[in-house]
Amino acid sequence: MTAPLREAIRFAAVGLLQNALNVAVFALATGLGVHYRLAAVVAGLLAFVASFLLNRRWTFMGQTAPIHHQGARYLLVFASAIALGVALLTFFVEVTGMPEIAAQVAAILIVAPVSFLVQRAWVFRAPRRSAVPRG
């Protein structure tokens, strides 16, 4: 199996775990009476920590940039994904009348592929090889 294929499969597995955690926390929080927007943010933050650690240590383990560099980039990408997800969630709930949990799942299905592409290309990209020979 090629490295890019292995990364894609692992990223998908982490994404499934991350989004299952996200939806479970969201459902639990809204079931306890937390407003759906706040529940989405809390669920997203918990999913952020889990997915960063799994992606860094398992999915993209060959790309070992300093954790604070990857963490800062990952935080920026993840925060943007949460913001887009909450905007989509709000649209689906308030404009289309979609049930909150179904709306959260729909938002995730839209945001996840975009997040993957940015993470692969920017956050966890392989180190660039110098075109100039050393020595």
Q: Mean pLDDT of successive 10-residue segments in the chain (135 residues)?
A: 84 91 96 96 90 90 79 91 94 97 92 85 75 55
The pLDDT of residue 99: 97
What is the predicted pLDDT for the residue at 98?
98
Contact 73, 56 (CB under 8 A): no
Q: What is the predicted pLDDT for the residue at 52?
A: 92
For position 127, what pLDDT does the model report? 66
Q: Quote the pLDDT of residue 44.
A: 87
What local confidence, expressed as pLDDT, does residue 95 receive? 98
Instruction: Give the sign of the dihedral formed by CA 112, CA 117, CA 120, CA 124.
Output: negative
